Structure 1
Amino acid sequence: MTDLLTGKTILITGASSGIGASAAHLLAREGANVVLTARRQAELDRVAESIAGNGGDVLAVPADTTSADDLRRAVAAAVERWGRLDGALNNAGRTQGGGRLAEVTDETFDSVAEVNFKGVWLAMRAELRAMTVEGAGGGSIVNVSSIGGTFGAAGQSVYGATKAAVIAMSRAAAAEYGRDGVRVNAIAPGATMTEMMVAWQQRDPGIVEHLSSLAALGRPGRPDEIAEAAAWLLSDRAGYVTGMTLGVDGGTAPWPH
């Protein structure tokens, strides 16, 4: 590893699997103190134990990203343990499970919006407060959006709308907090082989092959490849990058209607 993040304390939401778990391992290998949050405690503990077993500095804090109190507690735990919060990867999210717009239920809309949009806002609010207190020195926040948030995709109306909202909110926060030394960026992954993609493939056999056919690289991404992009944005090597959305999508063209 390159010690890209040596000495930095970084919070990761949705760290029990997929992109979040891959990022947790990578950031720890790159020298960061990692604070992991997720709802599923058993899975979260397994990720933390693996990192600790490889010599990483890690703290697992079970938290629901839709709970302001949980997120405040996670940020406070990071500051108490390491004295500061230098970065955050807000990764927790959920899919709408397909369906055309008029077929989406109220319950699905509310759940997707609460996790993907409000959850990121709640996390950013807690993180920004820690990064902007006197003497904190700023930090870097990376929010996980999606390629679905950059154009309209059939079957992803609500999901895409929430991910577009994450991009807009990230840009606004970058403008608001830049003078406080805080950089805020988003990443927009394409089809990535996470648990959500596996579940989608089970609902819609052939979707991975279809999405791969739209990518210039001809394949889906791996969670570790998405994590690498986030790690760079969290590092000082991206010190003049803020308010941007980095596509990590293998050169995917817009989905046909």
Structure 2
Amino acid sequence: MLSLQNQIVLITGASSGIGASCAKIFAQAGAKLILAARRFERLEELADRLGKEFSASIHLLQLDVCDRTQVESSLQSLPEPWSNIDILINNAGLSRGLNKLQEGSFQDWEEMIDTNIKGLLYVTRYVVPGMIDRGKGHVVNIGSIAAYQTYPGGNVYCGSKAAVRAISEGLKQDLLGTPVRVTCVDPGLVETEFSEVRFHGDTERAKKVYQGLTPLTPDDVADVVFFCATRPSHVNISQVLLVPTDQATTTLVHRRN
């Protein structure tokens, strides 16, 4: 198992859900964390918890990955001890709406494409060249089962996650001959703020998504990310599709009530 002691790990979308769970498991392993998200107060709370629990070394970035100028300035002005990123976890992402395409919201589309595709590209573009120069690094993209199977109303979201899968495969090919690894982790139903964001804060509607079944937890996904990151350096786990036992496809789930 590869040691993560003092490895610098950048996690986007770290303020909640899978990102926060990744922060916890990597902090526990002795990694140094750069936590990036738009909600800075949430980051401060998380950093405080991890500092007390694991004496973790943490640098915070208030960052909107959709803003290329902000991504560039934030990453290029990292303090010297934090500038050599070993592991990048591209976790920032969201879904908006569940409308038929012909009834879709342009604003929802823009937000999903800007965050899920362009944001991931911006951060990767500014981090990977340094990994190549230093001769080590690992990019972990958090995708979705939606990359494999579309579902009614999922049109643009599914398209954006199919793009993440294709970009991950393309990056792996482009990095062939370098020691930099690329992994795409694609979860099914995970109980996070995902559905609440999708339904624009409608918590009752969001709860129904997970009703009667046992979904994955953010910790379950973080555990898989951690496993991928700690394999020996000659091992690259390219793709992982993980779903709850109660889920077979994007639309086929078992509910007990």
TM-score category of the 2 structures, normalised to the smaller one: 0.7 to 0.9
Q: Residue by residue, what CA displacement relative to the aligned partner does 1:171-201 show, whole Å, maximum 9, x if unpaired?
A: 1001111312111111111111111235556
Alignment of 1:119-158 (within 5 A): 119-133=119-133, 136-158=134-156
Alignment of 1:215-234 (within 5 A): 219-234=214-229
Which 4+ stretches in 1 moved above 6 angstroms? none
What TM-score do the two structures reach when normalised by structure 2?
0.88
Match of 1:181 among 168, 179, 182: 179
Partner of 2:192: 194
Partner of 2:47: 48
1:6–1:31: 8 Å Cα contact kept in structure 2?
A: yes
Displacement of 1:7:
2.2
Identity %: 27
**Aligned-partner SS, 1:254:** coil
Mean Cα displacement is larger for which, 247-256 or 81-90? 247-256
CA gap 1:74/1:36 in 2 versus in 1, 3 angstroms: farther
In the alignment, the residues of structure 1 paired with residue 234 and residue 33 of structure 2 have an alpha-carbon distance, to the nearest angstrom, of: 20
Partner of 2:99: 99
Partner of 2:209: 207
Mean Cα displacement is larger for which, 81-90 or 41-50? 81-90
- Give the gaps of 5 or more residues in structure 2: 253-257
In the alignment, the residues of structure 2 paired with residue 73 and residue 80 of structure 1 have an alpha-carbon distance, to the nearest angstrom, of: 14
CA gap 1:204/1:137 in 2 versus in 1, 3 angstroms: closer
In the alignment, the residues of structure 2 paired with residue 77 and residue 96 of structure 1 have an alpha-carbon distance, to the nearest angstrom, of: 32
In the alignment, the residues of structure 2 paired with residue 233 and residue 77 of structure 1 have an alpha-carbon distance, to the nearest angstrom, of: 29
Q: Residue by residue, what CA displacement relative to the aligned partner does 1:20-58 show, whole Å, maximum 9, x if unpaired?
A: 011111111111111000011111111111112220111
2:192–2:218: 8 Å Cα contact kept in structure 1?
A: yes
Count of paired positions: 246
2:6–2:31: 8 Å Cα contact kept in structure 1?
A: yes
**Aligned-partner SS, 2:176:** helix
Displacement of 1:8:
1.0
CA gap 1:3/1:240 in 2 versus in 1, 3 angstroms: closer
**Aligned-partner SS, 1:246:** strand
CA gap 1:3/1:176 in 2 versus in 1, 3 angstroms: closer
In the alignment, the residues of structure 2 paired with residue 195 and residue 32 of structure 1 have an alpha-carbon distance, to the nearest angstrom, of: 26
CA gap 1:239/1:69 in 2 versus in 1, 3 angstroms: farther
Match of 2:241 among 240, 247, 256: 247
In the alignment, the residues of structure 2 paired with residue 248 and residue 121 of structure 1 have an alpha-carbon distance, to the nearest angstrom, of: 23
Mean Cα displacement is larger for which, 54-63 or 194-203? 194-203
CA gap 1:91/1:155 in 2 versus in 1, 3 angstroms: same
Match of 1:167 among 148, 165, 173: 165
